Structure 1
């Protein structure tokens, strides 16, 4: 017998009431506006490149570690499930989740840090802004417009999923957002939709869990070392007690699965509490609430802070990870400087984009080219540019 559908929340976004696209297009006969956005992201070149972009480990270090692509798919799955259970528009939540990492450069946080350093004199670099630039400008697939021409609600979610951003508009790196907003206002001083907030929390749920999983698999720490860490510790102890003779890999996976469930339940309970307390009755109420509607409870936030502290000490600052980060920074720094001083070694399309620009404009083209690289492509491009053996 089919399960009873979850009731629609009064503050859910309705694709039939979407504020539309910057450039008007005929509606699809087969998909809602938000589902169409999702499909455009899935077919984008920048989305495919996520398969060889990583966060902690470099793509060539192992086939079992998460990439930005597998992470985005996990975030999208959690976001869609949460949205359905909360009576929200699942297509919009999934769309924002799939798009959230499109602007990340190769080599994870090390790559982002290096591009921030290299672009400091030229307007800065911010991966959230880069994601927005990817979907509004850098993707070139359609004859009538640059970017993907996504709906207002999706664009709002891409740039505001973590909260209002009007306070960032004075940063040089946010100039692209300020210029776009002047033409097509995204109400940057308000919160985004509940669906976009679901995507943001789903990102937290996914990466906290997959970093535990990947860290154990990489041998950076042992599963039993997590027994004293809040949230995961009690869950892990329960799995060991229930399955004392089970293989360690199954224990790890079961503990991670249960931790995801605990975090999802916490988000649903806390969001329901906040919605009831503030009498949230419409999407507009969500935007004007003054704080996040979709959130973890305070005890969960405190537990996650201790888990992140453990991962910071035992994983993110591990000497093996530090060594990889160091190599990644050097690769990007050397390529950036070469392209800046000798733009004629850029591929033809990118060299053409660099013509008739001042130094800051040239640096932005170089940054866009490097930010779009996968880990593997960046390593190979660096080898071709700096190692004589590549000639043979």
Structure 2
């Protein structure tokens, strides 16, 4: 019976000791003041980057067309080759046009001879008319014939020039320098100056244009932003994403913006110019263009982990407020820039944004703020210790 009483007393002592240990070290995980990391934000410059669809267009494009009618006798170029402006491309049968030029030359010689004869006759009639050896009417007629002969010379000279031009047109030159495509007509084909199809097409591919489509709403929003304080325009440097998803590697510049809106699509066209020495860009390619149309000089860059969304989709941040309490605040964050959200409204210079320790943080909760990325020292418990700090061996001794 004495042994049973001793065991009961020992059990009671152990229960009191366990309760005492929980009372000393029994704060549950997550209770107390949590430590959070914050960043201090200040207004800075952030580019208003836009990404739009675009399509490549040749810098210069020209159809090779005949200006006279005739049979093609020869072709002087290789399809797909580079040609220079003025380089001969085709030869149209020149025999008829050479004969017309020779005829016009002979007519000019005849007109010049007639002009000389009428001029001499008028000069001879002049003194005779003064002494009334001939009638004044005869002299007047001689002078008129001389003038008509001079006009006839001018007409035949113009006809000769036209014939020579047509003769030169029998050699079809390259209107611009660039890369020529396939020939749509072969040797022996009959061509005319009034036909609708060109003989070939030449395109200059260096540099290259990219036509970018931007909605009229976005353009109006940009212009309103430029009218407000803090938003300034900038020289747009454009980067391209090719159809395979790769970056083009070279930057272009915006040349101009059209002053009209397409009524069918509601968009306006921006034209950018790119170098294309390697010939990577080809006409008709669909690309994605990224460029900065303006700079916001009063934006805040907040790390992405510090911005969250409420059920309505509004962007929110948690600040270190007065008395080191967490304060939730709505902000305007419509786009990202690298690893940051660009916040345009809702923040003030010097605000402390919590970016670490947000997982279990609630608005209004007291926090222990430290600069972000500050290492936290967590001391691991020593092995063999219970709640009251005594080892099991020392308890046995005490027992």
TM-score by length of 1: 0.17
More helix by share: 1
More strand by share: 2
TM-score by length of 2: 0.17
Q: Which has the higher contact order (CA 8 A, sep 6+)?
A: 2
